[in-house]
Structure 1
Amino acid sequence: MNTLVRWVSAINVLHRQAGHPPPGATTDVKNVLASARRLNSEVPRRMQPVFLRELRRALGLIDMNTHPAAIRGHRDWAILVLGFAGGFQRSELAALTFGDIQLGDPLGIRLWIRTARTVQMGRTASKLLPFGKSPDTCPACALLRWTRLLHYIRDRKLIEVEVFLLGVSLSKHICREPQLELQTFDQKSPVLRSLRRGGHVQDTRISDDVVNDVVKLRLKAAGMDPKRYGAHSLRSGFIAEALRGGHPYRAIMLQTDHISSVALDHGQRDSHSYRNPVLDLGV
């Protein structure tokens, strides 16, 4: 049912952009969808959002200093923090290349999104990775720690990589330091890469499923039920936290690249930023 609704929404968007009335707004289509909902009336399954406190708990259990676990640790750390702070879809994360990284913004690092959806719609979108307050959850630092490690792995011997990892500190920012190593990568090469056993980094990008697997694995290690969480939990967690902080829908949609605010309504409920009137009924 959810897939059908998404298809109708996508068709509506394309029609509006072409200057035509959206077919999904007609009475016939609405009646068909209403009938389908009645026939398929089970409760929709939604992944739970990951809130910042839960994200911190999961990050705190990742080995960032011991080879080879720390290789996977740095990549997974980047997936979790970028996915949360950027409100990314899993496909957007997996598709990132070095050519999508733009430095020079006084507020942080900007990542350009070039997925099938944005290309098909003839538009570009970008997300800001801010220079965060805390080094451990700073999105810019999470990205740059990983890219710096990629650069080091490519040019150094194993013992040098091990020493480098031992010296990694999560208590200081690196996001405002010169990032000359970024210029040494092929601009078409993937940022988030597949790994083999032993911490061997591949030249291929991760799949969308890897993002989902990383979220489940790291949250399970932190004592959370992996069946309740997935890749979308990072995106919905960002939305819920932003709404809890009082940010308007429009500002949130600029980061998540949502076309419609309907999806943010779920985040409003998840954020618990309003008081349910039933609590005041005296029952």
Structure 2
Amino acid sequence: MTPLATVSGPSEGAAEPAIPPAVAARIAGAVESSQSAGTRRAYGSGWRRFTEWCALNGHVALPAHPVTVAAYLVDAADTVTAVGEKEYAASTLSAWLAALNYYHRTAGYPPPSAHELVAATLAGIRRDYAAAGDRPRAQRAPLLVSDIRHLVDTARFQCGGWADDVLERRDTALLLLGFAGAFRRSELADLECRDVTLHREDGLHIRLRKTKTDQEGRGVVRALPATDSHTTCPPCAYVRWVQVVSAFDAGGRLSVIRLLRGRDPFDEHVCRGGVPRTAARAPLFRAIAKNGNLGITPLSGAAIHKTIRRRAERANYDADLVAQLGGHSLRAGFVTQAFRNGADAHAIMRQTGHTTPAMLERYAREHAPLMRNAVIEIGL
């Protein structure tokens, strides 16, 4: 089914008007653009799984009877791995149900979750999961300030040539900007050179043209100040990386080699001067080949996830901890560190863009449980 179903499905009262194919295609495109690419992929995957299950079990997928949807949820909840663990988390079942809701609504049918049987089935599954302690929500381990310092110091220490320098400059900028800006990995991946401005008072101004909570693209600016130490200064890391980007875009690999071989030692701030000119719409963070060549496409969210793990591995982090790290570790680390440093929820929300303090409390409960906790004042 395509988003055009919103104009071709059942309607209430009015007859469907005849419109030119070009207009219908434009409507379909607008409907598709109303959701992020990630949401569309998730809904599409969830819908395909449901239609395949219905075909296998002899059920009608659209419109799906409430009993069919309830049976689908129970079947998924009862699926276990080879070692007897639940295959799917309760949150996964909720995501699949959201996909069913979407495809039913776009076809003009009531969403399955609105039916009492379906809602009660999912609620009962959640209770069963909670009572059995199955499939707890897997949180990415946060990277704190001490971790970020260690990762960037190790990256610089391990450089053995100009190609290593290119990778170090990109990864250091990724770590420091991602942490200080509390960015999601998708937000880092979407950054273009035009989005970052070196401000003489504030450090960096980074404009997010669209975020998870701003799908209509009103935009927001986050400030990343310069720090006392040049080694962990986000504006310095940005300047060092943009020097590489500008050199490569202007003269390719040879220009980058000349830049890095003739560079001054990085022993003081470099964010006090100017920033090299870059193409406005060029992606800021890009893939880098083993020979040091920069790609022309933006670094993906999955690649950012792998970059963080790779830097932790090279810094000799425990393998179990590395497995808990990922793209969200930078954002989770900012929130956790801020709580540990005594910041209140509303100050943290200014940087993270969270809409309610309740979302932040999860980080405090899991990663900073002693902050503002009466247990430290009871006098034992």
Same fold (TM over 0.5): yes
How far does the alpha carbon of each residue in 1:67-102 deviate from its partner, in whole angstroms, 9 at most, with x for none?
A: 111111111111111111100000000000112123
How far does the alpha carbon of each residue in 1:108-146 deviate from its partner, in whole angstroms, 9 at most, with x for none?
A: 111111236455345321211211221111111111110
Quick one: structure 1 residues 2 and 174, their matched pair in 2 at CA, closer, same or farther if it must change by over 3 Å? farther
How far does the alpha carbon of each residue in 1:215-234 deviate from its partner, in whole angstroms, 9 at most, with x for none?
A: 11101222223111111111
| Residue 256 (structure 2) aligned to one of 136, 161, 166 | 161
Structure 2 match to 1:108: 203
Q: 2 CA distance for matches of 1:94 and 1:108?
A: 21
- 5+ residue gaps, structure 1: 10-23
Q: Are 2:253 and 2:293, in contact at CA under 8 Å, matched by a contact in 1?
A: no
Q: 2 CA distance for matches of 1:257 and 1:273?
A: 22
| Residue 286 (structure 2) aligned to one of 193, 216, 239 | 193
Structure 1 match to 2:332: 236
Q: 2 CA distance for matches of 1:235 and 1:276?
A: 27
Helix, strand or coil at the partner of 1:110: strand
Q: 2 CA distance for matches of 1:207 and 1:44?
A: 24
| Residue 187 (structure 2) aligned to one of 92, 109, 116 | 92
Q: Are 1:97 and 1:188, in contact at CA under 8 Å, matched by a contact in 2?
A: yes
Structure 2 match to 1:261: 357
Greater mean deviation of Cα atoms: 118-127 or 218-227: 118-127
| Residue 80 (structure 1) aligned to one of 166, 171, 175 | 175
> CA RMSD for the aligned pairs?
3.1
Q: Are 1:215 and 1:229, in contact at CA under 8 Å, matched by a contact in 2?
A: yes
Q: Are 2:198 and 2:235, in contact at CA under 8 Å, matched by a contact in 1?
A: no
Using CA pairs below 8 Å that are at least 6 residues apart, which structure has the higher relative contact order?
1
Deviation, 1:189, is 1.1
TM-score (norm 1): 0.81
Amino acid at match of 2:126: R
Structure 2 match to 1:56: 149
Q: 1 CA distance for matches of 2:220 and 2:291?
A: 36
- 5+ residue gaps, structure 2: 1-89, 99-112
Quick one: structure 1 residues 32 and 281, their matched pair in 2 at CA, closer, same or farther if it must change by over 3 Å? farther
| Residue 309 (structure 2) aligned to one of 199, 202, 216 | 216
Larger radius of gyration: 2
Q: 2 CA distance for matches of 1:128 and 1:3?
A: 35
Helix, strand or coil at the partner of 1:40: helix
